[in-house]
């Protein structure tokens, strides 16, 4: 399809807003473009990403699956499959997440994101040893990846596989990203599992103070209650 100069300029403005994390504004632009032409895969791609960022997962799936089915750019298909897998994990459809991730693995794609999402999916299925191995693979590719550090640390302490090593991984994740509520929560929980309730309370309170997602706040409050001996 031949793009007009106006279409291209509008598309670039939408991409610029998306990169600035102004997803609501970017979404409106991409919706407008989509209403004018519903056959442009780049518009569908960014619609899927915007909806994902805004937590509108059912809408995101519609466009991401469209891109996967028709896109010729293999790297874009790769990113869409990763995003689809992420959505399926978040919405507790782990089997569908595994399907997308295994498709990527079968064709030889390897990345930190692939292993961390696979690990998260395995953890949700209570396959903890598998999750540990996958997080370890992610760290082999990037030993500074905080998602893998935090995930691995949390599993090690929560399952009591290795509570001391788990604490060290959680510390490293927080050192690199001290404003991440999930990491602070993991660190507080790790201190609790290591018998230090004072440090546990401190970190869990900090986590609750900056948590903005309701489900995350619920998990942190649950940990605080346990540490306080209220459950």
**Predicted local distance difference test score (pLDDT) of residue 231:** 60
Angle, helix 146-158 to helix 112-124, in steps of 10 degrees: 20
**Domain boundaries, position 224:** 144-231
In a domain, residue 38? The reply is no
In a domain, residue 56? The reply is no
In a domain, residue 230? The reply is yes
In a domain, residue 114? The reply is no
Q: Residue 33: CB partners within 8 Å, gap ≥ 6?
A: 7, 10, 11, 14, 40, 43
In a domain, residue 9? The reply is no
As a whole number of angstroms, the distance between CA 148 and CA 184 comes to 14
DSSP assignment of 14-25 equals HHHHHHTT-HHH
* Cα-based angle 155, 157, 161 (whole degrees, multiple of 5): 80
In a domain, residue 228? The reply is yes
In a domain, residue 210? The reply is yes
In a domain, residue 181? The reply is yes
Radius of gyration of the chain (CA): 20
**Predicted local distance difference test score (pLDDT) of residue 26:** 95
**Predicted local distance difference test score (pLDDT) of residue 193:** 96
Domain count, the chain: 1
**Predicted local distance difference test score (pLDDT) of residue 69:** 87
Side-chain-side CA neighbours of 52 within 13 Å: the count stands at 24
Tell me the CA end-to-end span of the chain in Å, nearest whole number. 61
**Predicted local distance difference test score (pLDDT) of residue 56:** 93
Domain containing 213 — which CATH number?
1.25.40.10
**Predicted local distance difference test score (pLDDT) of residue 1:** 45
pLDDT by 10s per residue, the chain, length 231 = 445 678 889 999 999 999 998 999 999 999 999 987 766 889 999 999 999 999 899 999 999 999 988 888 888 888 898 899 889 888 888 788 878 877 777 776 778 888 888 888 888 888 999 999 999 999 999 999 999 999 999 999 999 999 999 999 999 999 999 999 999 999 999 999 999 999 999 999 999 999 887 778 899 999 999 999 876
As a whole number of angstroms, the distance between CA 190 and CA 171 comes to 9
As a whole number of angstroms, the distance between CA 117 and CA 98 comes to 9
């Amino acid at each position: 399809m031949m793009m007009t100069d106006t279409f291209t300029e509008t598309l670039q403005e939408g991409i610029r807003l998306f990169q600035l994390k102004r997803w609501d504004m970017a979404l409106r632009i991409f919706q407008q473009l989509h209403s004018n032409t519903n056959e442009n895969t780049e518009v569908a791609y960014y619609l899927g990403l915007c909806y994902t960022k805004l937590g509108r997962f059912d809408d995101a799936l519609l466009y991401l699956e469209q891109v996967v089915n028709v896109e010729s750019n293999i790297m874009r298909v790769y990113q869409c499959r990763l995003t689809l897998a992420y959505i399926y994990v978040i919405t507790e459809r782990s089997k569908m997440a595994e399907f997308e991730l295994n498709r990527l693995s079968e064709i030889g794609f390897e990345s930190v994101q692939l292993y961390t999402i696979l690990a998260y999916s395995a953890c949700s299925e209570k396959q903890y040893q598998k999750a540990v191995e996958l997080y370890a693979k992610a760290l082999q590719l990037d030993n500074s990846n905080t998602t893998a550090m935090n995930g691995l640390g949390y599993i090690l302490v929560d399952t009591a596989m290795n509570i001391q090593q788990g604490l060290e991984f959680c510390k490293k994740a927080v050192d690199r990203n001290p404003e991440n509520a999930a990491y602070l929560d993991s660190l507080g929980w790790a201190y609790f599992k290591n018998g230090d309730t004072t440090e546990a309370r401190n970190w869990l309170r900090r986590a609750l103070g900056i948590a903005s997602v309701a489900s995350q706040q619920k998990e942190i409050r649950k940990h605080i209650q346990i540490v306080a001996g209220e459950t």
